[in-house]
């Protein structure tokens, strides 16, 4: 529970004496709050436990998929992405702030020089009635060296350096998170495009089959063996399939344009040829849940934000203590250059200034409350990010396991649908059944093949999602 403003104000004034005698650092020292983590993930076969190296680089994780074209796109994105450049520029800004803030711990020195030829007024105010003024014309040459140093008794500057360093580390984590998000967004768009290419190939093969079936049933109709209804049904199926091709191509164009933007290329100048080769997601080893706290850059960024906010409490609290600045000056002054470096031209001064807040209308206490509330907000955000990270990893684990089983079943379904189509076609040619059974079998085969293609793409996308949830690559690829 925070103290009342008048109590804190009195404590600040009383603490000023102790600060002068022994020195102190205002505000609490930063301690990362504990977050409860389960001892292990809820996993099922074929998962295995791994021990990721937390200090290892978080990329290039995309090489695990074994796709050279994806590797090339990722290199282009890292080299030309304006989003990554923006995050890198913010990191440089934060590092510059650290250097500027750290300079406050050291004294400052200023070398100055002044040269003038001046005429003083004979009518200027008198310094006393016995000494009349006269107009004088003379030179004035003054080289000087001034030094300034603030005694950091309450640790205000030290807390400022801590806040700047934590903010710079947060910017570094944000840069890593931006790089991770850029890579995962690119991989997601790329694998979506690859899945559509495979699905378009399925549709192309189905259209070829349906055209042959249309020619076949049309020939039978011309011979008087098949009815016009059989021809109309087959034509309707073909038209529906052709419509689906246009819809898929529209989706493919959108993913292609997204890839262009992510790689820093204008969309009209970018194109990817279709690729229907199959890909398998890599096996991702899992560590204990606490590894997520160390590996994910967004978690690291949230933790560094807490450290920076904690230091701001110290900066606000230090305002209750006195500020002492010392400023010696030494120099030379002469009206003639020939005597500028003579001993009588030397002048110096040494002094100190002290400022102690006494009354400020509760402004300082309100600033401490503001800093404390900001810190509480960063703690809540940190816990939220950690819980979200746990959820994303668990979703990826269970999702990949379920998709693996569904993919196996989908392949079996395609084989079964092929056998059903062969049987339905044979029975129709033998006159044992209506052509509707052939149409139904063709529709079932198309649906099964498209589902298998979609599941393959979802497995790749879920693998990317899990790798992102785990914070990137788990070890440097060979």
Note whether residue 188 is domain-resident. yes
| DSSP letters for 395-423 | HHHHHHHHHHHHHHHHHHHHHHHHHHHHH
Query: For position 151, what pLDDT does the model report?
Result: 87
Note whether residue 204 is domain-resident. yes
Q: Which helix (H) or strand (E) holds 118?
A: strand 108-120
Total number of domains constituting the chain: 1
Query: For position 6, what pLDDT does the model report?
Result: 47
Note whether residue 445 is domain-resident. yes
Task: Write the pLDDT tens digit of every residue in 314-325.
Answer: 999 988 889 889
Contact indicator for 259, 267 with CB cutoff of 8 Å: no
Note whether residue 208 is domain-resident. yes
Note whether residue 82 is domain-resident. yes
Note whether residue 220 is domain-resident. yes
Task: Write the pLDDT tens digit of every residue in 259-315.
Answer: 999 999 999 999 999 988 888 888 877 776 777 777 788 888 999 999 999 999 999
The secondary structure of residue 108, as a DSSP letter, is E
Note whether residue 346 is domain-resident. no
Q: What interhelical angle do 363-429 and 297-318 show, nearest 10?
A: 170
Which CATH number is 87's domain given?
A: 1.20.1600.10
Query: For position 72, what pLDDT does the model report?
Result: 94
Query: For position 281, what pLDDT does the model report?
Result: 87
Q: Per mean pLDDT, which range of 40-49, 122-131, 294-303 is the poorest?
A: 40-49
Q: Per mean pLDDT, which range of 48-57, 379-388, 439-448 is the poorest?
A: 48-57
Q: What is the mean pLDDT of residues 49-66?
A: 63
Query: For position 305, what pLDDT does the model report?
Result: 92
Per DSSP, the three-state class of 64 is helix
- Residue 2 pLDDT greater than 50, yes or no: no
- Residue 258 pLDDT greater than 70, yes or no: yes
Task: Write the pLDDT tens digit of every residue in 155-164.
Answer: 888 899 999 9
Note whether residue 408 is domain-resident. yes
Contact indicator for 329, 348 with CB cutoff of 8 Å: yes
Per the structure, the complete domain to which residue 212 belongs is given by 26-107+154-320+369-469
Task: Write the pLDDT tens digit of every residue in 171-191.
Answer: 998 998 999 999 999 999 999
Q: What interhelical angle do 363-429 and 435-469 show, nearest 10?
A: 150
- Residue 133 pLDDT greater than 80, yes or no: yes
- Model confidence band, residue 152 (pLDDT cutoffs 50, 70, 90): confident
Spatial distance between the Cα atoms of 122 and 136, rounded to a whole number of angstroms = 8
Query: For position 50, what pLDDT does the model report?
Result: 42
Omega within 30 of 0 (cis) for the link into 445 = no
């Amino acid at each position: 529970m925070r103290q009342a403003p008048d109590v804190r104000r009195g404590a600040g004034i009383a603490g000023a004496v102790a600060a002068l005698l022994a020195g102190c650092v205002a505000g609490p020292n930063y301690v990362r709050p504990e977050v409860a983590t389960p001892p292990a993930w809820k996993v099922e076969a074929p998962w295995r436990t791994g021990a990721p190296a937390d200090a290892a680089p978080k990329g290039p994780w995309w090489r695990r998929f074994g796709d050279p074209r994806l590797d090339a796109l990722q290199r282009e994105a890292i080299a030309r992405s304006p989003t990554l450049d923006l995050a890198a520029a913010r990191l440089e800004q934060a590092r510059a702030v650290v250097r500027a803030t750290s300079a406050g711990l050291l004294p400052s020195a200023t070398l100055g020089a002044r040269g003038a030829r001046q005429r003083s007024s004979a009518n200027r105010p008198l310094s006393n009635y016995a000494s009349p003024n006269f107009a004088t014309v003379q030179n004035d040459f003054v080289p000087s060296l001034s030094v300034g140093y603030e005694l950091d008794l309450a640790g205000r500057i030290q807390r400022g350096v801590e806040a700047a360093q934590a903010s710079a580390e947060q910017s570094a984590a944000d840069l890593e998170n931006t790089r991770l998000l850029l890579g995962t967004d690119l991989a997601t768009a790329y694998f979506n495009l690859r899945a559509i290419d495979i699905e378009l190939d399925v549709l192309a093969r189905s259209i070829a089959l349906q055209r042959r079936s249309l020619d076949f049933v049309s020939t039978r109709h011309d011979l008087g063996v098949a009815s016009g209804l059989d021809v109309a049904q087959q034509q309707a199926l073909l038209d529906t399939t052709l419509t689906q091709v246009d819809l898929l191509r529209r989706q493919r164009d959108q993913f292609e344009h997204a890839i262009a933007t992510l790689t820093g290329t204008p969309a009209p100048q970018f194109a990817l040829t279709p690729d229907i080769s199959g890909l398998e997601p890599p096996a991702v080893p899992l560590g204990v849940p606490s590894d997520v706290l160390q590996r994910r850059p967004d978690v690291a960024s949230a933790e560094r934000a807490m450290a920076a906010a904690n230091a701001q409490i110290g900066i606000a609290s230090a305002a209750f203590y006195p500020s002492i600045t010392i400023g010696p000056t030494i120099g030379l002054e002469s009206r003639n250059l020939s005597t500028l470096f003579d001993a009588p031209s030397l002048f110096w001064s040494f002094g100190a200034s002290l400022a102690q807040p006494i009354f400020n209308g509760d402004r300082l206490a309100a600033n401490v409350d503001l800093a404390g509330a900001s810190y509480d907000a960063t703690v809540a955000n940190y816990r939220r990010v950690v819980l979200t990270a746990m959820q994303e990893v668990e979703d990826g684990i269970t999702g990949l396991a379920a998709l693996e089983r569904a993919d196996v079943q989908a392949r079996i379904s395609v084989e079964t649908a092929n056998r059903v189509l062969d049987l339905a076609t044979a029975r129709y040619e033998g006159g044992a059944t209506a052509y509707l059974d052939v149409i139904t079998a063709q529709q079932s085969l198309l649906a099964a093949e498209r589902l298998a293609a979609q599941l393959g793409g979802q497995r790749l996308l879920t693998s990317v999602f899990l790798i992102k949830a785990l914070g990137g690559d788990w070890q440097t690829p060979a």
